């Protein structure tokens, strides 16, 4: 039987504060790279086992963080994490992210071969050769640029938040605390199901609104991972409230309800009822 490693969470820290972001964020295509086996992902009490390119979820509990059996080639920097925060999933864009530049490169290669092997000393023939060779150079540079952006683009699920980062020199991103996530939906066309890709639409409270992430690999399993981390985060907040952190927990819940009221997903009467329940 294949072992799945888990990590014991330390005591919960103070609530994470999200940075502001645009109301709609489109994070280009996601892809989880080939599996690898590292010391961090092996069970301490058993022999190491070969990783498989499938997403396997560990049993969820208040003291464990589920992890998937694969990691991207360039992992998300640990220095970007808060205290007591752990990474549950780190994805690069799906391989379909390269479809446009690779298609342009293939077409320009075929065109260049045709132009160079075709007998033609006319002005039109010379122009065609120049055009296809220039297209070949441009498309090759496009592939290189797309690869560099792929290497520096991450969709990360941690024990506290969802993180999107992209950019080689100029960087941009968004952070959504798990307690502010109200809804997680995904959709796949027939073609996307064949590729193993799809879109995630995440609705959150506050200024974030709706965030769309396009062409994520295995979006249904990523959706389950987000829900699993949300449940663990809720359990930690409950434990923290019982241990004396109730004021912060109530304030966070009120903020989430206010976001739902602003978006119209909660009526004023329902909001007041929930507010009275929280304030006792």
Q: What is the pLDDT of residues 18-30, one digit of tens each?
A: 333 333 333 334 4
Give yes or no: residues 168 and 270 share one domain: yes
The verdict on residue 9 lying in a domain is: no
Question: In the beta sheet, which residues pair with residue 10?
Answer: none
DSSP 3-state assignment of 200?
strand
Same domain, 194 and 270: yes
142 and 164 fall within a common domain? no
Q: How confident is the model over 245-277, as pLDDT tens digits?
A: 455 567 777 777 777 777 665 678 777 877 777
Comparing C-alpha atoms, which of 184, 2, 28 is closest to residue 92?
28
Answer yes or no: is 171 within a domain. Answer: yes
Out of 85, 113, 148, a domain closes at 148
Q: Give CA separation, 65 vs 57, 76, 233, 255, in Å.
A: 9, 17, 10, 26
Please, which residues have CB within 8 angstroms of residue 48's CB and are 6 or more apart in sequence?
37, 42
CA distance 171 to 29: 17
Q: Residues 174, 254: one domain? A: yes
172 found inside a domain: yes
Q: What is the band of 15 on the pLDDT scale with cuts at 50, 70, 90?
A: very low
Residue 94 has pLDDT above 90, yes or no: no
> How many domains does one find in the chain?
2
* Tokens at 258, concatenated: 């206010």
Q: Which pLDDT does position 102 carry in this prediction?
A: 93
pTM: 0.54
Range of the domain at 57: 26-93+153-279
Q: Which of the listed residues 148, 164, 185 is the one where a domain comes to its end?
A: 148
180: Cβ contacts below 8 Å, ≥ 6 apart: 18, 204, 205, 206, 208, 255, 256, 259
Q: What is the CATH number of the domain that holds 251?
A: 2.30.29.30
User: Both tokens of residue 35?
Assistant: 């599996």
């Amino acid at each position: 039987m294949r072992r799945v490693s888990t990590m014991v969470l330390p005591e919960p820290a103070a609530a994470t504060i999200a940075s502001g972001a645009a109301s709609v964020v489109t994070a280009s295509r996601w892809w989880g790279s080939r599996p690898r086996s590292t010391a961090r992902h092996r069970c301490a009490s058993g022999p190491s086992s070969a990783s498989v390119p499938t997403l396997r979820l560990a049993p969820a509990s208040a003291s464990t963080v589920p992890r998937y059996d694969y990691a991207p080639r360039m992992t998300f920097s640990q220095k970007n994490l808060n205290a007591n925060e752990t990474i549950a999933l780190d994805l690069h864009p799906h391989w379909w992210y390269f479809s446009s530049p690779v298609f342009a490169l293939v077409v320009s290669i075929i065109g260049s071969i045709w132009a160079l092997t075709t007998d033609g000393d006319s002005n039109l023939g010379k122009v065609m050769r120049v055009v296809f060779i220039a297209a070949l150079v441009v498309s090759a540079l496009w592939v290189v640029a797309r690869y560099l952006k792929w290497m520096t683009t991450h969709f990360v699920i941690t024990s506290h938040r969802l993180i999107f980062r992209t950019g080689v020199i100029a960087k941009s991103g968004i952070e959504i605390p798990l307690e502010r996530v109200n809804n997680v939906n995904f959709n796949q066309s027939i073609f996307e199901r064949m590729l193993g890709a799809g879109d995630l639409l995440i609705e959150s409270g506050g200024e974030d609104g709706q965030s769309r992430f396009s062409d994520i690999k295995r979006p249904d399993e990523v959706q389950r991972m987000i829900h699993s981390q949300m449940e663990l985060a809720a359990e930690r907040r409950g434990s923290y409230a019982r241990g004396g952190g109730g004021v912060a927990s109530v304030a966070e819940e009120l903020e989430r309800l206010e976001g739902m009221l602003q978006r119209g997903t909660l009526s004023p009467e329902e909001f007041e009822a929930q507010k009275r329940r929280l304030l006792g």
